[in-house]
A and B are shown apart, each in its own frame.
Chain A
Amino acid sequence: GQNIDQPTEMTATEGAIVQINCTYQTSGFNGLFWYQQHAGEAPTFLSYNVLDGLEEKGRFSSFLSRSKGYSYLLLKELQMKDSASYLCAVRDLLRSNDYKLSFGAGTTVTVRA
């Protein structure tokens, strides 16, 4: 299995930037995902990294370093609606067309006015 670690909670001010770190250990790395989950709702896909580097999508960016087993999600120009839990997930490829997605415990981000 994987060990996936991310901070439990973070608080930031509206309009600011927050960086959520995720470290992982895995044997058959096949991609890292970030999901957003609002309270009482299902997770929704934010970003995907399989190669080293930065992927940017509007206000959200995600970075991956496979050699360090490290990723971060960067949220810019924070809005109140960004208050949510952010889940780091690592996919392991077991064999052809057979993979498992393992999740970290999630980071609860609270945006304050």
Chain B
Amino acid sequence: NAGVTQTPKFQVLKTGQSMTLQCAQDMNHEYMSWYRQDPGMGLRLIHYSVGAGITDQGEVPNGYNVSRSTTEDFPLRLLSAAPSQTSVYFCASSVSGGYQETQYFGPGTRLLVL
């Protein structure tokens, strides 16, 4: 199993550009989520999905879109990048909300918006 994979690892964008951060997992996990991590603020939930075809907003969803057409993939779209979106983005997955369930994190995407 590759676990949770993310691409790209690094990206530089200009303000106003759009891009998609890819996330895939091969563990047949139902629950997937996207976080951003900024210094001194911890991980903040952007969007999450409890299964294919179902998505919901997290704590900081503005400026981001997601879709979940398959169990494996959960891409995060930045429609018009802004410098405030400079951050490290982590995708995570877990089986479900069951007892002692933990999330597995991808390696992260480091995004710089100029």
Which residues of A line the B interface, CB within 8 A? 1, 4, 8, 30-31, 33, 41-45, 48, 50, 87, 89, 91, 93, 97-106
Contacts and interface: CB of A to CB of B under 8 A. Distances in A.
A103 B100 contact: no
Interface residues of B, number: 27
B13 interface: no
Contacts of B104: 45
A104 B108 contact: no
Interface stretch (B21-29, B39-47, B66-74): B39-47
B61 interface: no
Determine the main DSSP class of A at the interface with B.
Answer: strand
A87 B42 CA distance: 8
B41 A1 contact: no
Interface string B68-107: 0000000000000000000000100000110111111111
B78 to A, nearest CB: 20
Contacts of A48: 100, 102
A19 to B, nearest CB: 20
A97 B58 contact: no
A44 B48 contact: no
A42 to B, nearest CB: 4
A81 to B, nearest CB: 19
A97 B50 contact: yes
Contact of A45 (B30, B35, B102, B108): B102
A97 B45 contact: no
Contacts of A100: 45, 48, 58
B59 A41 contact: no
B42 to A, nearest CB: 4
